[in-house]
Amino acid sequence: MTHDPNKSTGGLLSDALSHVSSLVRNEVDLARAEVNENLKSAGIAIGMIVGAIVVALTALNVLSAALVAALTEAGIPAGWSALIVGVIFGIIAYVMLNKGTNDLKLNSLAPTRTAKNVKRDAQAVKEAYDDK
């Protein structure tokens, strides 16, 4: 920014307002981009939850088959094998569900980088006017 000693107060004020307007516009653009990025993350988290539901339903089917096999065959290893597979699917579903719900927490969706930039910009403007 060049300083013209012959510039009027109105011109200086006009320049300052122009810079503030540009700064606000840039911060709004940054906030919009950050929210879009966070919404993509939320979409992936929702996909993980849907995946967890599918895996949980599979686990329920396998566990049901394992229970039926265990009861009807009374100790034949095939039933216990199905039970082990069902438990493994249940664990996978649990891990996926936890990951998905943790990724959907509101604090992970907030535009934190934009908030930091706005605070930094406000401090810079305050310091610039305090110096004058």
Confidence at residue 38, expressed as pLDDT on a 0 to 100 scale: 83
Element at 91 (helix H, strand E): helix 77-103
Confidence at residue 2, expressed as pLDDT on a 0 to 100 scale: 54
* Domain layout of the chain by residue ranges: 10-75, 76-131
The CB-side HSE value for 104 (13 A sphere, CA atoms) comes to 13
Q: Calculate ∠ Cα 36-40-53, nearest 5°.
A: 150
Element at 123 (helix H, strand E): helix 112-131
Confidence at residue 51, expressed as pLDDT on a 0 to 100 scale: 94
Residue 3: band (very low, low, confident or very high) from pLDDT cuts 50, 70, 90: low
pTM: 0.41
Per-residue pLDDT of 70-111, as tens digits, reads: 767 767 677 777 777 788 878 988 999 999 888 887 666 666
Per-residue pLDDT of 24-76, as tens digits, reads: 888 888 888 888 888 888 889 999 999 999 999 898 888 877 777 776 776 76
Per-residue pLDDT of 109-126, as tens digits, reads: 666 777 777 788 777 777
Confidence at residue 95, expressed as pLDDT on a 0 to 100 scale: 94
